[in-house]
Amino acid sequence: MSTSSKDTYHHGELRNALLTTAMQLLEAGEPLSLREVARRTGVSPTAPYRHYADKDALESALATEGFRDLRARLVAASPEPATPAALADLAVAYVRFALERPAMFRLMFGNECDDSNDQRVVAASSIRRFLSDAVGRVFPEADGPALAVASWSLVHGLAFLHLDGKLAAATPNEVDLRVRTSIKAILTVRGQ
């Protein structure tokens, strides 16, 4: 007696399988739909609805995973940044994430925030808090939240300018250098 794919997902495995398939579709630049995710996962067309009310809910779950991945990347770059150079390391990690996972980055930041999705809100807030805390450690006398927003805006803008081909760079090292010098410029001006 053979078992179908439908019978092999238990205790949350289906949700993870659907997310994995959706991530693959997203990052391959293919259209994302619950029907296609179900087909590629090998389950019935209605199976995704057990976990996601609609495509927006699936995209919100994907964005949540993206925010978690981005935070992990930032922490790996500099777990407790305490110097301007460590802030530049965060900036480089942020832009590299955008360039390495452009479809995910656009999904995370290209859609309105889904304030009704608690997990997405928590994941996005965790990044904002991490960055704000980092800036506060490096510049304890500054208006930490305002400087964090300014720095994040600069880095986020650099990410999209590179993604959209508005800032050319032949190598990742050139991008890294541009990010580092831009952060240094804003932090130097800030220190005067």
- ∠ CA 132-184-134, rounded to 5°: 20
CATH of the domain at 17: 1.10.10
Q: Are residues 42 and 59 in the same domain?
A: no
pLDDT at 5: 46
By C-alpha distance, which of 11, 158, 15 is closest to 99? Answer: 158
Q: Are residues 167 and 182 in the same domain?
A: yes
The proportion of the chain whose per-residue pLDDT surpasses 70, expressed as a percent, equals 88
Average pLDDT score over residue span 64-91 = 95
Q: Are residues 33 and 128 in the same domain?
A: no
Domain that holds residue 114: 55-191
CATH of the domain at 83: 1.10.357.10
Q: Are residues 34 and 126 in the same domain?
A: no
Q: What is the pLDDT of residues 16-31, one digit of tens each?
A: 899 999 999 999 989 8
Gap between the Cα atoms of 148 and 158, Å rounded: 15
In the predicted structure, residue 113 carries a pLDDT above the cut 70: no
SS3 content of the chain, % helix, strand, coil (to 5): 75, 0, 25
pLDDT at 8: 55
Contacts (Cβ under 8 Å, ≥6 apart) of 20: none
As a dihedral over the C-alpha atoms of residue 132, residue 135, residue 139, residue 143, rounded to 10 degrees, the angle is -40
Q: Are residues 102 and 173 in the same domain?
A: yes
pLDDT at 12: 61
Number of domains in the chain: 2
Q: What is the pLDDT of residues 136-177, one digit of tens each?
A: 999 999 888 889 899 999 999 999 999 999 998 779 999 999
Gap between the Cα atoms of 180 and 174, Å rounded: 10
Average pLDDT score over residue span 56-62 = 90
pLDDT at 2: 37
pLDDT, averaged across the chain? 87
Q: Are residues 43 and 105 in the same domain?
A: no
In the predicted structure, residue 76 carries a pLDDT above the cut 80: yes
Average pLDDT score over residue span 72-85 = 94
Write down the pTM of the prediction. 0.86
Using pLDDT thresholds of 50, 70 and 90, give the confidence band for residue 94. very high
